[in-house]
Amino acid sequence: MGVGKTTPDELLFSLIEVNFREWSQIEKVRAEMKWKARLDRHEVGKLPKYQLKVKFKWLPKEFATYINVQNSLCEKCEPPRILRASHFLDHGIVVPDPWKLIEEIKYSMESTETGEGKKDRDESLRLSSEIIQIHMDKMRKFIDAKYK
């Protein structure tokens, strides 16, 4: 997904769907296959792999960057604080938190749908990227500024 290790769990799990029971069963099968191959002294064949289910397929890679920026430290504050949307607001920069950004993207996509129904993936990603870029520009301008 491209998000950093500091991404809050509640945000991560709102973006992906994980069935831990299914995942653990697949890992058990993988371990058994590896062990059997080792005992039989042959190569392991193709191993099954758990697939994470992404809830929002129309979110571009820029969304991961957006999340990562909002989990970085504010170098302008002493002691440094995490640059969440609420902290940007403390500096007079209005940007949505990731959940509100998702809602903004959803609303924008719904309001621009044609009579044919859903947009194709490329169009969805382009529209999402444009919306994210507007907010990224505000955040980058603040981060890149040398003074408060």
Q: What is the tens place of the pLDDT at every residue in 104-114?
A: 888 887 766 65
Query: Are both 75 and 136 inside the same structural domain?
Result: yes
Query: Are both 69 and 98 inside the same structural domain?
Result: yes
Query: Are both 51 and 100 inside the same structural domain?
Result: no
Q: Once rounded to an integer, what is the mean pLDDT over residues 7-24?
A: 88
Q: How far apart are CA 18 and CA 53, in angstroms?
A: 7
Query: Are both 125 and 85 inside the same structural domain?
Result: yes
- Domain assignment present for 11: no
Q: Once rounded to an integer, what is the mean pLDDT over residues 35-58?
A: 89
Q: Residue 75 has what pLDDT?
A: 86
Q: Which domain holds residue 76?
A: 56-144
Q: Once rounded to an integer, what is the mean pLDDT over residues 20-41?
A: 95
Q: How far apart are CA 130 and CA 103, in angstroms?
A: 14
Single-letter amino acid, residue 100: K
Instruction: Choose from 55-64, 93-102, 113-122 the range with maximum mean pLDDT.
Output: 93-102
Q: Once rounded to an integer, what is the mean pLDDT over residues 76-99?
A: 91
Q: Is the model's pLDDT at 19 over the cut of 60?
A: yes
Query: Are both 96 and 139 inside the same structural domain?
Result: yes
Q: Are 135 and 101 in contact (CB under 8 A)?
A: yes
What's the farthest any 2 CA atoms get from each other in the chain? 66
Query: Are both 113 and 47 inside the same structural domain?
Result: no
Q: Once rounded to an integer, what is the mean pLDDT over residues 69-95?
A: 91
Query: Are both 24 and 69 inside the same structural domain?
Result: no
Please name every residue paired with 117 in a beta bridge, in sequence order, or none if there are none.
114
Question: How many domains in the chain?
Answer: 2
